[in-house]
Structure formats: structure tokens, C-alpha cells
Amino acid sequence: MRLKLNPLAANVRGKRVVLVDDSIVRGITSAKIVRSLKHAGAKEVHMRISSPPFRHTCHYGTDIDSEENLIANQVALEEIRRQIGADSLGYISMEGLKKACAKCALPFCTACFTGHGVNTRVKKDILE
């Protein structure tokens, strides 16, 4: 991870950083990234997650072996923020995700967020 995600101190020193990530599954990688940004001199690190919290196993590509290992099933949002070391943490809501994807031509699966299968009626759900 150090080779792949190595912040340049000159770019972050003394700055407020907003880090956008696709998800937080266990919180391990997020904590390492936040720590490395702060170690490089970031004044603040705010995390924004472009998915709702992962609460269920995923059968389509995200490596989730057990729901017990998902951080969102173990602790509340504020505790996740504290554990990863971010100054603030925000997730997109399920409604926000559906609205953002309303014009997508293909269906998408929300099972890892909701526990329900592939959502093939995203547009109709948004419009109703």
C-alpha cells in the first residue's frame, strides 16, 4: 500500500484534505490512508464514501467473507470515523445513490447495502 498510495507531503502539508473512496468494508485501508495523509502533514482529513455502508456479503466482486467482519455492522458511523482517524465521515444515502444512478441503462445490485437482490427498477423507484 505504501508504494501505491504514497501522499506527497508538499501537496498536503497544512491543508484540509477531502478523500473520496468507493466504500469502507473493514476500515483497515481507510485508516492507513488517513494516517499516511496526516503523517504527511495534512491538517484535516475528511472522508466521503460514494456508497452506503456495506452491511451484507457481496456475491459480485467485493471481498466480503462474513457480515461480522464489516465495520458498519460492528460500530456506529461516529465510531467508524474515530477508528479510521478521519476528522469527518459521510456516506451517500441509498436514495442518493439511486438518484445518482437513475439515468444508468443497466441495472445495478444493492444487495451489499440493503440485503436485497439486483435492483432492476432504479428509474421507476426514483420517479415514484
Q: Which CATH number fits domain 9-94: 3.40.50.2020, 3.30.365.10, 3.90.1150.10, 2.60.40.10?
A: 3.40.50.2020
Kindly give the confidence (pLDDT) of every residue in the chain, 128 residues in length, as a single tens digit, with 9 standing for 90 and above: 556 678 889 999 999 999 999 999 899 999 999 999 999 999 999 999 999 999 988 777 676 778 888 999 999 999 999 999 999 999 999 999 989 988 888 877 888 888 876 554 444 444 44
Spell out the domain ranges in the chain.
9-94
Of the CA atoms within 13 Å of residue 3, those in its CB half-sphere come to 0
Helix, strand, coil percentages (3-state) for the chain, rounded to 5, are 40, 15, 45
**65: exposed, middle or buried (Cβ count in 10 Å: 0-12, 13-18, 19+):** exposed
Q: Can you tell me whether residue 76 is helix, strand or coil?
A: coil
pTM: 0.81
CA–CA gap between residue 102 and residue 111 (Å, rounded): 17
